[in-house]
Every structure is written in structure tokens, then in C-alpha cells.
Amino acid sequence: MNKWINLLTVLVIISCGEVQNKFELPVLGRPKIVEREVNGKITNDTIPHMIADFSFVDQDSAVITNSTFDGQVYVADFFFTSCPTICPIMKKQMLRVYEAFESNPQVALLSHTIDPEYDTVALLNDFANRLGIKSSKWHMVTGDKEKIYEIGETSYMVIADEDPTAPGGFIHSGAFLLIDKERQIRGIYDGTKEDDVNLLIKDISRLLASYAEE
């Protein structure tokens, strides 16, 4: 838990761009500073933190990559179907996000299992059917375990790992992450808290409005 709190603090503090007005969301993450030469002078360029390339398989056996979300913003989280603690609460709250934007093609959801050995495609399909969701809107993905853990910690900057001392044998954050059309993190929310998810729903609308103004 302390590790999760530290990562959350990093996300809040480290931002590659200031908020210009109350409706503009920050860009979160760890930006990279890259040196380049221009007209014989060395300058520094800031490259914002972005979600790395990925390839997973969803509940319909469809391959899901970054390009799946071209032209969309999406909300990402990490869970496992046999989770005895926060996952049922998270899925109830994510279902609220799903219902709020079910008819909006610019918004999608992406849930990564952290127990791919148990959470097979067939099991995820059954889980999704019990939630009553459309796979074209809410992708529940499985794949290589280490790649899931890696993208969780290095791209989404949340905890996702095995832990024999944790309930269910895994440890993960309850974070919902709002990702923009440029693969950047624009918000992080506690998926176990209704108030945080209310804010997420508002921030999705704000983010979509910012694209409409361009």
C-alpha cells in the first residue's frame, strides 16, 4: 500500500505541463528530457510520459493494441476475477462509467487481469456477460503475465504483481486511469470511491470538450 501511495504522489507532483484553466486536465507521469542540437546549439526537449505499445487479447479473443483506441479516450484499470477484496467494488464503479458513456463512441474502457493463468479468455467472456457489457466498449484483456505487470508499473504507474501474502495472492491498486487520444495519463482516480468516480465521469466530459474546441 505504501508503494502505491508513493506512486500516486509521483503522478500528482510530476506533470509535463501546467493547467491553464480550471477545465484543463494536467498531463501526468514522468516526462523525459532529451538533448538535441539546433544550429550548433544544444537544446533540451521535453517528451511527455506516454503509454507504451501493448498487445493483449480481450474476452472475444480479439487482439487489443494501442491502435484499438485511435480517436478515443479510455479508462484503464487492473483487476482479477477471483479477487476477494476491492475488485467487486471497482467493477461496480467502472460499470457506472460504462453506462455514462455507453452511447459515446469516443470513450472506451480497458481492464487488465493480473491473473492471466486463471483468467482465461473464456472466463473473461463469462465475466463480461454477467456484467452485461459490450466487448466493443469495455475490453477485458489477458496476455503475458510479465508484460501486464510491466505496463502496469512503467506506463500506467500503478501496482500490479503477485504477492502470496495478499488476499487472493495478488496485489494491485484500485486506480482508474484516464488516458487521452495521445496515450497520455490525464487523471488518476480511486476506483473504490464513488466521489472519485463521479469526478472521473466529469473529467472525461471535460477532456472530450477540449478536443471539440481544437
Ranges of the chain with pLDDT below 50: 1-22
Ordered by start, the domain boundaries in the chain are 51-212
Residue type, 80: F
Backbone angles phi, psi at 15, to 5 degrees: -140, 140
- Per the prediction, the chain carries an average pLDDT of 86
Q: How many CB atoms lie within 10 A of CB 72?
A: 15
CATH superfamily of 51-212: Glutaredoxin (3.40.30.10)
Q: What is the predicted pLDDT for the residue at 168?
A: 66
Handedness of CA 105, 110, 116, 119 (dihedral sign): negative
pTM here is 0.85
| pLDDT > 70: percent of the chain | 84
Q: What is the predicted pLDDT for the residue at 16?
A: 39
Unique residue bearing C-alpha cell 496476455 = 143
3-state secondary structure the chain: CHHHHHHHHHHHHCECCCCCCCCCCCCECCCEEEEEEECCEEEEEEECCCCCCCEEECCCCCEEEHHHHCCCEEEEEEECCCCCCCHHHHHHHHHHHHHHCCCCCCEEEEEEECCCCCCCHHHHHHHHHHHCCCCCCEEEEECCHHHHHHHHHHCCCCCEEECCCCHHHEEECCEEEEECCCCCEEEEEECCCHHHHHHHHHHHHHHHHHHHCC
Rounded to a whole number, what is the distance in angstroms from the first to the last CA of the chain?
Answer: 40
User: Which residues lie across from 49 on neighbouring strands?
Assistant: none
Q: What is the predicted pLDDT for the residue at 214?
A: 67
Q: How far apart are CA 79 and CA 17, in angstroms?
A: 30
